[in-house]
A and B are shown apart, each in its own frame.
Chain A
Amino acid sequence: MTDLSCKNLSMTFTNPANGAMVEALKDINFTLKKGELLSVLGPSGCGKTTLLNMIAGFLNPTSGQLSLGDKQIEGPGVERGMVFQQGALFEWLPVSKNVDFGLRMKNLTPADSEKLVEKWLDIVGLTGFGDTPTYQLSGGMQQRVALARCLVNDPELILMDEPLGALDALTREKMQSLILELWKETGKTIIIITHSVEEALLLGERLFVMAPRPGRIHKEYNLPFAERGLKESLRDIKQQSDFGSVREEILTMIWDMEEEIMGNV
């Protein structure tokens, strides 16, 4: 089993300006089973991106254990793919060269990688865009390329850092459906960080609401909407009464946290 397990994870930054210690994360504990879809929500400064960067291996925890399966996480790796908010595409390469970047780094033969690239471009809905320069793509298409680039490496865990944050409402909804489809088809473990409560509810099989100072998991939910989203239209789900009540509950929770922060300042 390649579960992601996180034990007593803490992260402390030193503020370079005054030398004060900031507890970005404190005593995070959770286990994510293979194939689970987790969304993480929280006010700004609650450490969600720090958590994601630690899982990706870009940051080392101050204390605690992080492991994927039986392997300790020490630095970035191919088994943990990452999708960034702005895509972080290589604009000097066309779409197909962006997608097969990871394969080329592994020195896969061009014939093999070409097949894989075509397959994944099909899946994310970019058939025939292989030779297009990435700077000519719209924001939504760029995120599809980023998804394909990540998936073509066949990672065990996919980390998404506000992947849909910069998109317009309509594109966003389409991409949310795409992510759900990909989750179902590939059975990958996915962690999505988002600012949008609706998105977190729609995409999260599990949902962590995090709280700041120190960064911690405030409340955990197990939600039915992602399963539902595979069959029903996302817009219909948003109209359902249980969706509405959870949304209101979380919104109030986050609102109170924000109030508290403002009060402290």
Chain B
Amino acid sequence: MSEFLSTHRADVAALLIIILTGLFVWSIYYGLRRTRKLDSEQVFGDPERTLGGWFWAVCGVSSLLLVWFYFSWGTARAFFPSAANEMCQVAKIDEALSPITAKLPYGDRYYKSTELLVRNGQQLAALEAQMPAGVYSSAEQKKLFSILDRNQQLLTIYSDSAQQSPSTGADLDAIHLRLQGLSEAIDAGYAGLMPTAEALAQPRWGVTDSEIPMLPLTPRGVLFDNVAEQSKEIAQDFVKVRNLPEAAKIIISGVKSDITSLKEADKNYSGSEADLASRKTYLKAVERIFKRLDDGAIFPAAAMMQINLDILQIQDSVKSQTKGLRLVDALFLPGEGVVKSRTLCVEQGSSRWLPKPTDVVAKFARLANPNLEDGGGYKGTVLFWWKWLEIADVIAFLIPDGVVDMLPGDYGIHNDNGEFVKTYKDHLLAVAQGDVYLGVVPMLDGHIWDSVFRVIVAMGFGIALGVPLGIYMGVSRFFKSFFDPLIELYRPVPPLAWAPLILTIFGIQDDGKIFLLFMVAFAIMVISARTGASGTQLSKIRASHSLGATNKQIIRYVILPNALPEILTGIRISIGVCWGTLVAAEMLAGTTGIGFIENVARTVSDYELIWVTILIMGLLGLLFDIAMRFTISVLIPWRGKG
């Protein structure tokens, strides 16, 4: 079942999108009709006007999901399953031609030759001005000036169409013809082309980690794939073409020997160290520029113009072959479309960080699989399942070994026969260390449970200790004045600021996190219980005094129930804060928990996993809150009606 859903996620998405669109349109239509009717019955500002708008909730949720589908390219994948594959083939052409286009205005605004000419020309002029004074003899100086001058001449020769060597012209013409051939091949269309069996056997878009299938799945794609192959060869030949006219070759060999002779002169130089160093530096700079000019990479502009036109022609041909595809790209693939890089075709746009809804569900299903051998769970822990828990482990957790040490008597020693004689302390130690079998109980397990467990235990301690203290602070001058400064001093510190300290003291396992969360819950519970207790109406207290209640009875039967609404609100707030703190604490340290998963997902840029954890946390938070709201409505029905 999940296998089927996984491979057919695009079809599932298509069905969902149709349903969602229907719901969206229907809810607006229904909502407008209802609103017209209800508005005539209630004046503006009447709080009743906010009630009964569930259809707008449907509208909001469905539009949110549709936006998600759209920006994650889920819509495109559902309705145009081959679009990305075809765009991948087009991207292959772009990638194959990139060695050529990088040297042309098409890809880089200026001709590469123009850029080289301008930059090297400027640097030659600068070098001429920077020549160090007093370290060269006049003959050497003359030679250097001549080298720079001849480099300038090289630039002129390279730029001159008339001096271009016939072989270079022939090479470029051949490239031109081959590129023209490509355009013609594209224009000829893709009739008779068929995708290979290997291509058709590829997993569908989004099913594997490589996401977009690489091999062409459509005849049109096959055409582009072929063109891309040929483009690659043409590009290889293009980068080998050199512009080295005879005049340039002569200058190059002359400059080369001059530089060599200057280097020789440096070896026998008798001046100061500093002067020698500046001579060497300068010569190196001159040689560096010359090395850039001696390989014939600068062409006359006229020679390149034709190639640029050919590339434009190819792009025009591609465009005329991909009219519908480009419309899909513009409408349904927000962002920069598909880009090919080395071995992958990647989605470039909002879908890069926003996984498709169905992919998130598929990822969640994989995580939720309780079978670790089957690839379920995450990092060796299931997401949410159950296990047999040894009772001995729980007892060992609750009883520190030191308790046994404190008991009277000694541990066992070995006797003369080499036997270990156990005392009662040895047996107790075994219990305290969990080395006995006391049976098992079923227990929840997994990342989600670990997180929830930490919150629940911390909340339990926080409530059990915080509520009594808060109540006493609400009724006793001593308790209020004694504890108020202590709590008010530690409470304003953000919980995460405590985390490094607490985690260092208590360790990165459950203890540290539970203590951290306990600190959060405790402060909130104290404050809310105190507010509730001190907010008891004086007349109620006086009434219960007159009815003969003792101080203890007043706390138990009047102040506590009176503070219950505040206490429950406090629980609701502290669950929220604990949850937030916990996730951050799990990101800091630990090996299980939702925050741990997200932190690992972050380090490997697994966006799907990040979104899965975000959704799990959102849903769990929502669940907590709904449970609390329900509890409040059951426990304190008098709220707001007193």
Contact = CB atoms under 8 A, between A and B. Distances in A.
B543 A84 contact: yes
A203 B636 CA distance: 38
Contacts of A82: 542-543, 546
Contact of B564 (A92, A102, A146): A92
Contact of B542 (A76, A77, A78): A76
B107 to A, nearest CB: 77
Interface string B524-556: 000000000000010110111111111001000
B546 A105 contact: no
Interface of B: 537, 539-540, 542-550, 553, 557-558, 561-562, 564, 636-638, 641-642
Interface in A202-260: none
A61 interface: no
Contacts of B544: 101, 105
Contact of B561 (A56, A88, A92, A102): A92
A105 B547 contact: yes
Contacts of B636: 92
Nearest to B637: A133
B558 A78 contact: no
Interface string A53-89: 0001110000000000000000111101110111010
Nearest to B553: A105
A115 interface: no
Contacts of B638: 91-92, 133-135
A129 interface: no
Given A92-B562, A133-B638, A135-B638, A78 B539 contact: no
A149 interface: yes
Contacts of A57: 545
B542 A153 contact: no
Nearest to A81: B546
B557 A101 contact: yes
Interface string A130-153: 000111100000000010011001
Given A56-B542, A90-B540, A101 B547 contact: yes
A37 to B, nearest CB: 19
Nearest to B543: A88
Contacts of B539: 84-86, 88
Given A88-B540, A90-B540, A91-B642, 18 more contacts: A76-B542, A77-B548, A78-B546, A78-B547, A84-B543, A85-B539, A88-B543, A90-B561, A92-B561, A93-B561, A101-B544, A101-B549, A105-B544, A133-B637, A135-B638, A135-B641, A135-B642, A153-B548
Given A88-B537, A88-B540, A92-B636, A80 B641 contact: no
A77 to B, nearest CB: 7
Nearest to B540: A88
Contacts of A136: 641
Contacts of A133: 637-638
Taking each of B540, B548, B549, B558, which has the highest tally of chain A beta carbons within 10 Å of its own beta carbon?
B548
Interface string A39-63: 0000000000000000011100000
A81 B548 CA distance: 9
Nearest to A161: B539
Taking each of A58, A75, A76, A78, which has the highest tally of chain B beta carbons within 10 Å of its own beta carbon?
A76
A78 B548 contact: yes
B642 to A, nearest CB: 5
Contacts of A77: 546, 548
A56 B557 contact: no
A58 B561 contact: no
- Give me the 6 closest cross-chain CB pairs, A-B, nearest first: A102-B547, A88-B539, A76-B545, A78-B548, A91-B638, A135-B641
Contacts of B540: 88, 90
A80 B549 contact: no
A78 B638 CA distance: 28
Contacts of A149: 543, 547
A80 B547 CA distance: 9
Interface of A: 56-58, 75-78, 80-82, 84-86, 88, 90-93, 101-102, 104-106, 133-136, 146, 149-150, 153
B537 to A, nearest CB: 7
A39 to B, nearest CB: 20
Taking each of B537, B547, B549, B641, which has the highest tally of chain A beta carbons within 10 Å of its own beta carbon?
B547
Contacts of A153: 547-548
Contacts of A134: 638
Contact of A105 (B549, B561, B641): B549
Taking each of A78, A92, A153, which has the highest tally of chain B beta carbons within 10 Å of its own beta carbon?
A92
Contacts of A102: 547-549
A241 B371 CA distance: 95
A90 B558 contact: yes
A76 B561 contact: no
Contact of B548 (A88, A93, A105): A105
Taking each of A84, A106, A136, A153, which has the highest tally of chain B beta carbons within 10 Å of its own beta carbon?
A84
Nearest to A80: B546
Contacts of A135: 637-638, 641-642
Nearest to B539: A88
A36 to B, nearest CB: 20
B184 to A, nearest CB: 88
Nearest to A88: B539
Contacts of A106: 548
A102 B545 CA distance: 9
A86 B642 CA distance: 11
Contacts of A92: 561-562, 564, 636, 638
Contacts of B549: 101-102, 105
Contacts of B547: 78, 81, 101-102, 105, 149-150, 153
A88 B542 contact: yes
B543 A58 contact: no
A7 to B, nearest CB: 23
Contacts of B537: 88
B542 A58 contact: yes
A80 B548 CA distance: 10
Nearest to A107: B553
A57 B546 CA distance: 9
Contacts of B561: 90, 92-93
B564 to A, nearest CB: 7
Contacts of B642: 91, 135
Contacts of B557: 90, 101, 104-105
Nearest to B537: A88
11 contacts: A56-B542, A84-B539, A88-B540, A90-B557, A90-B558, A91-B641, A101-B549, A102-B547, A102-B549, A105-B547, A136-B641
Contacts of A81: 546-547
A58 B541 CA distance: 10
A161 to B, nearest CB: 9
B188 to A, nearest CB: 85
A56 B542 CA distance: 9
A153 B539 CA distance: 18
Nearest to A83: B543
B633 to A, nearest CB: 13
A33 to B, nearest CB: 22
B587 to A, nearest CB: 42
A105 B542 contact: no
A153 B549 CA distance: 12
Nearest to B544: A101
A76 B547 CA distance: 9
